[in-house]
Structures are given as structure tokens and as C-alpha cells.
Amino acid sequence: MTKQRRLMIWSAAVLLVIGVLIGGIAVVQGGQKNSNTPQRLTLAGSTAMGPLVQEAAKVYHADHPHAIITVQGGGSAAGLTKVADGHVSMGMSDIFAEEKNGVVPDNLVDHKIAVVGIVPIVNPRLGIKNIGTVQLRQIFAGQITNWQKLGGPDMPITIINRAQGSGTRTSFDRLVLNGGEPKTGLEQESSEKVRSMVATTPGSISYLALSYVNDDVQPVHIDNITPSKKNIVTGTWPLWEYEHLYVKGKPTVAEVQFIQYLQSAKVQRKLVSELGYIPIADMKVERTAEGQIEDVQP
């Protein structure tokens, strides 16, 4: 199955329930419930991270057909809020908990699962393949409003943003606008919807996690730098984010087992890479919650 097909399956199913082993606990299979009560894990949050967790849960289930994992979307802010309030087992987030207003990060434990690049995208018929850093900032601040100023056609620029609460939007605004005020534009609730809208809207521009980019849209270089894995791991490509799993307080045995599986070499070296994410161990730089970039210490 292709990466694009996997992503389509994720976005089409707002809620996915998969049977997965949690330490020999009973399972709900074929509508029948064993005598033992199954232990459940519920994950919610980032739609950028969703496809990775969904696919990992499927593989996990194939090896351990017991218990239940539920994967929901909703955006990073929703994931952090729900795990902090105790409504879900784990919150999926593209941002650090410290970046979310209203969440007490001291109560949450961060588990970094992968890294993903963030890429500006435009409508493929536009003919724009490279934008400078300053120009990109001016576009999303509303200071450049026509593609003609960037060597493109005489066509108004249509900005499509992720909705408020999106971790990808929070990261993009912080990294590109540097605290500046973004121009009000159209908003979409999921990465899949952003991609679809840019693909069909003349003159449009937005941004996606690299794992979502396909031939329907045109990825844009920044200052002639390619959004490749090589450039992301060294920090040469400036737009990237961690994919976090947050747990409130001490994790349960079930939570520990699934987190360890996601961080295992089996998942990191195969599934993470296949879906367009980057294994944590491959990064040569790291980012703090305050946004500082540091070299990874050997």
C-alpha cells in the first residue's frame, strides 16, 4: 500500500478502533467479548502524526491480537487538552506542551516518536517552485498579495491555513512569522483537507507535514533549499517538528508497551521512514521547548 493510500485511509476515518495486545489482556474480536475485560488505549490529537500511529497500531495488532487501541484526530491542541484532562490515554502533538496555553506541562510526560518536515505547498499549475524566507513571511503576513511580485502569473495569492489548534500551524507561524501576526485566510481542519484545497484552488498556498505531500500539490523550496531528509536532519531545512506522545503522570503498563513499540528499531527503521517521517535517532540537531536549536550530543 502506498504512503498516499495510507494517509487517505487515516483522513477518511475520523475514529479508528483496532484490536491490539496489551500484556495478554483479552480482546474484542468479531463482535464477541471474552470473559476478561479488555484494557483500552485511546489516543487523540495531531492529524499529521495520525497516519504513523494508525499504521503502527495495525502492525502491532497483527503480532498481538488482544485489547483495543482507539486513534482519533482533532489537532494537537485538542490532544494535549484531552490528555491533560484525563479524557484520553495519550495525546498526539506536533508541539511541546509548553506551547499550549491552558495546559500545565509539569503534569505531562513527553515521549518523542519521530520528526517530520513542514513544507510550503502551492497549486501545481502556479509554476512557483522556490520562495525566499523573507518573501514567505511577507506572503503569510499579507504583505505580498499577488504572485506576479514573485515572478509568477498576475494572480491573487490565496492563503489556506490549518485551523487554530493545529500543531503544524503553530510551528509554521512560529518558524516563519517569528511572532508576527498572520494574515487571515481560509482554514481547514485537517492536513488532508488542506492538500485537497490547494490542489484545486488556483493561486493557493499553504503548508503540510512532509509525510502528506504528494503529486497533487507542488512542494516549494525555501532559499533554494530542498525539503529533504538530509537537509532536515542537519537543520539546513528550518521547518520541522517533533511528533510527541504525551502521557499524564506515570504511564500504565499498556501505555509503556505501546510507546516502547513505537520507539523500537522495528518501527523507527521501517514504518517511520516509509511514511515520510524521520527517526529520532537520525537527527543531528534537536529543538528545545523554547525553540532553541542545538547539536545532538554523541
Residue 135, CB-side half-sphere exposure with 13 Å CA sphere: 19
Q: What is the C-alpha separation between 196 and 188, in angstroms, rounded?
A: 10
Q: What is the C-alpha separation between 137 and 143, in angstroms, rounded?
A: 8
Q: Would you say the CATH fold of 117-233 matches that of 3-115+240-295?
A: yes
Cell numbers 498576475 correspond to 154
> How much is the pLDDT for 21?
36
> How much is the pLDDT for 33?
41
3-state DSSP assignment of residue 33: strand
> How much is the pLDDT for 14?
38
Dihedral over Cα of 173, 177, 180, 182: its sign? negative
pTM for the whole structure:
0.83
Q: What is the C-alpha separation between 276 and 169, in angstroms, rounded?
A: 19
3-state DSSP assignment of residue 68: strand
Q: What is the C-alpha separation between 103 and 251, in angstroms, rounded?
A: 18
Q: Which CATH superfamily is domain 3-115+240-295 in?
A: Periplasmic binding protein-like II (3.40.190.10)
> How much is the pLDDT for 38?
63
Tens digit of pLDDT at every position of the chain (298 positions) = 555 555 544 444 434 444 443 333 333 333 334 434 566 899 999 999 999 999 999 888 777 777 588 999 999 999 999 999 999 999 999 999 999 888 888 989 999 999 999 999 999 999 999 999 999 999 999 999 999 999 999 999 999 999 888 999 999 999 999 878 889 889 998 899 999 999 999 999 999 999 999 999 999 999 999 999 999 999 999 999 999 999 999 999 889 999 999 999 999 999 999 999 999 999 999 999 998 999 998 7
The CATH code that applies to domain 117-233 is: 3.40.190.10
In single-letter form, the type of residue at position 101 comes to: N
Residue 239 in contact with residue 176, Cβ under 8 Å? yes
Task: Provide the residue ranges of all domains of the chain, joining segments of one domain with +.
Answer: 3-115+240-295, 117-233
Dihedral angle of Cα 126, 127, 133, 139, to the nearest 10 degrees: -20
